[in-house]
């Protein structure tokens, strides 16, 4: 596992690693997604990369193939970090701090509007189609993790 944040602060991963090691060694579940479902502090701070080796059946030849995979887990929150992109702290027009209000929030898009005025500033975010939510998206959710396959490489 590794992290995407350029200025990574380990403090924000403490809760995640405590829960992950508990799941792995006490409950014998080393699937990171089971831990991420309840994790917020890490998601606000950084994406998580999981690099793993696994087996997959080749659809053409029918043979099993050993693969190296890099998965990126991205936390998405409709106001703080829509689809993994941090919303600006400051409105570029009125310079207000944390003035964003969710105007539209669907599975694939988020529109934020500045609360200072009806025509102050609006910004839109779109979900990258290759990033899927790890749990079912529901209207009104307040933060979900998404998974994106960054790399798949066959191994000998």
The site for Zn ion (CB under 5 A) is made up of 91, 93-94, 96, 114, 116, 120-121
Q: Give the residue with the Cβ less far from Zn ion, 91 or 112.
A: 91
Q: Give the residue with the Cβ less far from Zn ion, 42 or 114.
A: 114
Quote the least distance from Cβ 84 to Zn ion, whole Å.
Answer: 23
Q: Give the residue with the Cβ less far from Zn ion, 27 or 95.
A: 95
Quote the least distance from Cβ 60 to Zn ion, whole Å.
Answer: 54
CA-CA-CA-CA torsion sign (10, 15, 18, 23): negative
Q: Give the residue with the Cβ less far from Zn ion, 119 or 138.
A: 119
Give the residue among 35, 34, 47 at the shortest CA–CA distance from 75. 47
Coil, helix or strand for 153?
strand
- Residue pair 50/130 in contact (Cβ under 8 Å)? The answer is no
Quote the least distance from Cβ 101 to Zn ion, whole Å.
Answer: 10
Q: Give the residue with the Cβ less far from Zn ion, 4 or 87.
A: 87
Quote the least distance from Cβ 112 to Zn ion, whole Å.
Answer: 10
Quote the least distance from Cβ 95 to Zn ion, whole Å.
Answer: 7
DSSP line for 62-112: --EEEEEEEEEEEEEBTTTBGGG-PPPSB-TTT--BS-EEEEEE-SSEEEE
Give the residue among 92, 73, 89 at the shortest CA–CA distance from 143. 73
Q: State both tokens at 103.
A: 């105007």
CA-CA-CA-CA torsion sign (46, 22, 138, 142): negative
């Amino acid at each position: 596992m590794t992290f995407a944040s350029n200025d990574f602060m380990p403090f924000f991963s403490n809760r995640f690693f405590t829960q992950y090691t508990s799941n792995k060694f006490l409950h014998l579940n080393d699937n990171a997604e089971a831990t991420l479902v309840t994790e917020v502090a890490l998601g606000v701070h950084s994406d998580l990369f999981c690099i793993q080796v696994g087996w997959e059946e080749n659809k053409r030849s029918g043979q099993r193939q050993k693969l190296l995979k890099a998965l990126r887990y991205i936390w998405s929150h409709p106001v703080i970090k829509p689809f993994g992109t941090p919303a600006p702290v400051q409105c570029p027009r009125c310079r207000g701090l944390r003035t964003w209000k969710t105007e539209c929030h669907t599975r694939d898009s988020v529109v934020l509007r500045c609360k200072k005025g009806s025509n102050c500033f609006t910004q839109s975010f779109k979900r990258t189609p290759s990033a899927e939510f790890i749990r079912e998206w529901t209207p009104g959710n307040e933060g979900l993790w998404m998974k994106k396959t960054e790399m798949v490489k066959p191994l000998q």
